[in-house]
Structures are given as C-alpha cells and as structure tokens.
Chains A and B, each alone.
Chain A
Amino acid sequence: MTGVLAVVRKDLLSELRGKEGINASVSFALVILLIFSFAFEPTDTDVRKLSGGLLWIAFAFAGALLLNRSFAREIPNDCLDALVSSPIRGWELFLGKALASFLLLLGVELLCLPVYGIFYNVRWAKVFWPLMLVLVLGTWGLTVLGVSFSALTVNLRLRELMLPLLLYPALSPALMSAMILTTALLGGEAIFGATAGINTAWLRMLTGFDIIFTALSVALIEYVLVL
C-alpha cells in the first residue's frame, strides 16, 4: 500500500501544481454543455429525459483529457523507467494512478454539476447522495478503463488519438448504466429499494463492470509495463 499512496500523492501533487489537465477538462465539459444547448431547447421538460445522458457525455469526453495524462505524465525525462524499475509492483502502480485520476475526475464532475443544474434547470441537490453513488461507480469504471488504455498507448505515436478510440466502445455498458441511473434519479425515481424496479439491475451492472475491469487491469498491467 505504501507504493499506491506514494503514486497517488505524486500524481495529485504534480497535477494540482500545474492544473493544465484540470483546467482543460473543466473548460471542455462546460463547452460541451454549451453546445448541447444549441442542439435542443434546454428548458424544455422533455430534456429531463436526456439529462443523465448529457451529463455523462460531458464527463466522458472531458475525462479522456485527464485520463490521457495519467501515464503520459511519465513520458518526459523517462520517468516511467524510473518508476517501473523501482520496487513498486505493477498493481500498486495501477491502483495509485487510477485512484489519483479518479479523485481528479470526481473533482471536475463536482465542479460541473452545479453549473449544469443552473443551465439546464435540473434539481440534483435533493438526490445528492444517491447521485454520488452513481458518480463514484461510473467514474471508477471510466477511470479503470481510461488508465489501463493510457498505459497501453503510452509509448505510441498517436497516443492522444488512440485513447478515445479504444475507450468509448469498451466503456459503453458502464456509460449506458450511469446515464440511465442518473436520468432515473433526476426524474425522481429510486435506484435501489423496493420501488427501484429495473434500476437495481443497472446498478448491479455498473458495479459488476467496475469489479470485472478492475480485476482484469490489475491482473494484466504487469505485461504492459515490462515489454
């Protein structure tokens, strides 16, 4: 665990110091929310049915900017070599990187949420805690795949182009679950308990996705690091 914490600290410190990634990510998320308002009338009640989808499209696109940096940050000065030759295990490195990206991404999302609520007249505060659960699960899924693919593509010429290409198709089940659950919450439905209906299944799907891909990433990361 020492290794995990060391990587989390280092990644958060260097990202918070420069803030390039966070700034780019937040601005991009806001731009996406703006562009959506061109596509349809944002205050229309029908838009409520799309609300979860909109939010997650913004998070997923803005997230790729941050996730790309997860391993790309190690490129200058060959820091990745220094890191991989240190006694940290592959899974510790992966979990450290994933936790750091997860916290950053969650921060970006929490910054965007109030703005979104104002612009699209969505009341999210009254379902804050269940919404947090969906945000945490959805963001973890996004992070796990994003950081794994960031590790896969770190040495490639077309790094920035490859990540989104790999990420979104693979992420589709998690993204779909998160969208449906968020829309349900914002529409006043329950996502767990007796009245939740099919939403419970979506919650389980999202959790299962997270568990499966966390396990796969942890198991396979060593192969990617030592070529």
Chain B
Amino acid sequence: MTTRQKTIYCLAGLAGVILVVNLYRILLVLPDELRQGAIYRILYFHVPAAFTAWSLFLTSLVASVGYLATKRLRWDGIAAAAVEVGFVFCTVNLVTGMIWARNQWGIWWTWDARLTSMFVCWLLYASYLVLRTAVDDAGQRATISAVLAIFSFADVPIVYGSIYWWRTQHPQPVLTTGKLAAEMWPPLLMNFGAFLLIAVALMLVRLDQEETSLEIQGLRRLAHAL
C-alpha cells in the first residue's frame, strides 16, 4: 500500500467515526426544533455541505493559478479533483435543501436568493466538468480548465451579490433563521470537519485515478509511436 492509499483509508476511517458519533448525537440526543420538528436536523448536513463545496472551489482556484504559474500537471489534477468533489457536495447541499423545502414550504424549489445562487454555482462548475471531457490533450485541457476555473470563481461572489439584490426586492418565503442554539454548534462544526476529511480522501482517490489515466495515455502514445 502506498502512503497515499494509507492516508485515504485513515482519513475515511476518521471521518466515518466522527459521522457515526455525530449521527448518534443529532438523531438521539438533541431535541426536536420547536417549529420545524425533526426535519431541522437536515441542517447538520445541508450547511456543512455548502461550506465544504466552497472550500473545494477555493482549492480549485488556488490549484488553477498554481498550474498556470508552474505548468505542472499535478496542480491540474488537484484542481479537477477539487471541482469534482466540490460539485458532489454542492449537489448534496441542493438536494438536502430541496427536501427541507418540500417538508417546510410544501414545494421542492423556490427561486429564493440562496437557492438560486447555489444553483448558478452548480451550473458554473458543471460546465467546467463538461469542458474537461471535451479536450483530449492533457496540457491543453489543463490550461483551458485552469482559465475557466479562475473565471468561474471570480463569478461566484458577483452571482451571490446580484441574486441577493434581485430577490430581496421581491416577497419571498421567510427562512426561519434565528440564532443557532449553543448546543447546535458542536455537531455542525464536527460534521463540517468530517465532510472536509471525506472531501480530502475523495480528492486523493481522484488524484490517483487522474495520474494513472495520464500514465496510460502517455504509454499508449508511446506504443503508437514505436
């Protein structure tokens, strides 16, 4: 087993333990919320998923700048892995949000500021992933995706700003925000931690695959050249 594989198993194992402990606390120890009832618990997955997605998108920005500066394909692998995993967490955030909305508002989707902006983010990074599949040459793919990742990340704050202004002009379903009770913070943060560990483990798996596929591609071209 390589060091990287060991790291992957350790991270995943640690994340698993934290999640089980957290699940126990969230499901069996913490009381139901006053107005929402049991469904509020989805918050413990919904919110950390969003944080994790943003952290990964930020990672992809850094790695993309790293690639353009050094032209080392490893940076491209990190950027790609970060976006892929971030995209999954973005999806988790959207789906958990929709389940909550169905239960609380009676509708699956509403064009509320936060939902819409997360959805635009999801689309931005979906197009990044589609673009990657359309380029054959590894160096070309890395450069093009790095530039697109920078564009996308620059867009995220503008998207959030604009959609916030747009929707605050209109009546919208009121989110029962309020202040989080003190005992809700620890499981929320611990879930965030666990999600981050899972994200890093998944990224390492993807990085492994990416490097193997590059190696295979290189060997195939070498074989054709012989």
A residues at B contact (CB < 8 Å): 145, 148, 152-153, 155-158, 162, 165-166, 169-170, 172-173, 176-177, 180, 198, 201-202, 205, 208-209, 212-213, 216, 220, 223-224, 227
Tell me if A227 and B158 are in contact (CB < 8 A): no
Q: Are the C-beta atoms of B162 and A172 separated by less than 8 Å? A: yes
Q: Give Cα A201–Cα B169 distance, bound, in whole angstroms.
A: 12
Residue in A177, A212, A227 whose CB lies within 8 Å of B162: A177
Instruction: Evaluate contact between A212 and B154: CB separation under 8 angstroms.
Output: yes
A224 CB contacts on chain B under 8 angstroms: 143-144, 147
Contact of B166 among A156, A169, A180, A216 (CB under 8 A): A180
Complex Cα distance, B166 from A209, in Å, reads: 16
A-chain residues with CB within 8 Å of residue B155 when the two chains form the complex: 169-170, 173
Most buried by B among A166, A177, A198, A202: A166
Q: How far is the CA of A213 from the CA of B152 in the complex (A)?
A: 11
CA distance A152 to B130 in the complex (A): 13
Let me know if A165 and B154 touch, CB within 8 A.
no
> Which of B143, B150, B159, B165 is the one whose CB lies under 8 Å from A172?
B159
| A165: contacting residue among B127, B135, B143, B146, CB under 8 A | B127
Find A156's partner among B124, B135, B152 (CB 8 Å cutoff): B135
User: In the complex the two chains form, is B166's CB within 8 Å of A170's CB?
Assistant: no
Is the pair B151, A213 in contact by a Cβ cutoff of 8 Å? yes
Which residues between 91 and 150 of chain B lie within 8 Å of chain A, taking CB atoms?
120, 123-124, 127, 130-131, 134-135, 137, 139-140, 143-144, 146-148, 150
Given the contacts A169-B124, A223-B147, A209 and B158 also touching, CB distance less than 8 Å: yes
Q: B68, B124, B151, B165: which contacts A198 (Cβ < 8 A)?
A: B165
> In the complex, what's the smallest C-beta–C-beta distance from A27 to chain B, in angstroms?
27
Residue contact A169 to B130, C-beta cutoff 8 Å = no
Closest residue of chain B to A215, judged by CB? Answer: B154
The smallest beta-carbon distance between A52 and chain B, in angstroms, is: 13
CB of B161 within 8 A of CB of A205, answer yes
Cross-chain contact B131 with A166 (CB below 8 angstroms): yes
Q: How far is the CA of A157 from the CA of B154 in the complex (A)?
A: 27
Q: Which of chain B's residues has its CB closest to A166's CB?
A: B127
A213 with B154: in contact, given A165-B127, A169-B124, A172-B120 (CB under 8 Å)?
yes
B144 touches A152 (CB 8 A): yes
Report chain B residues within 8 Å CB of A162. Answer: 130-131, 134
A227 to B151, CA, bound (A): 18
Which of A177, A202, A216 makes the CB contact (< 8 A) with B154?
A216
Q: How far is the CB of A28 from chain B (nearest CB, A)?
A: 22
CA distance A150 to B44 in the complex (A): 41
CB-based contact A220/B158 at 8 Å: no
Check if B131 sits within 8 Å of A173, measured CB to CB: no
Q: Are A205 and B162 in contact (CB under 8 A)?
A: yes
Find the B residue at minimum CB distance from A171.
B155
CB atoms of A223 and B162 under 8 A apart: no
Q: How far is the CA of A180 from the CA of B162 in the complex (A)?
A: 11
Closest residue on chain A to residue B139 by CB atoms: A227
Contacts of B150 in A (CB 8 A): 216, 220
Let me know if A227 and B165 touch, CB within 8 A.
Answer: no
A173, B124: Cα distance in complex, Å: 12
| 11 A–B contacts from the bound complex (CB under 8 Å) | A148-B147, A153-B131, A153-B144, A165-B131, A166-B148, A173-B159, A176-B162, A205-B162, A220-B68, A223-B143, A224-B147
Question: What's the least CB distance linking A145 to chain B, in Å?
Answer: 8
Alpha-carbon gap, A172 to B122, bound state (A): 13
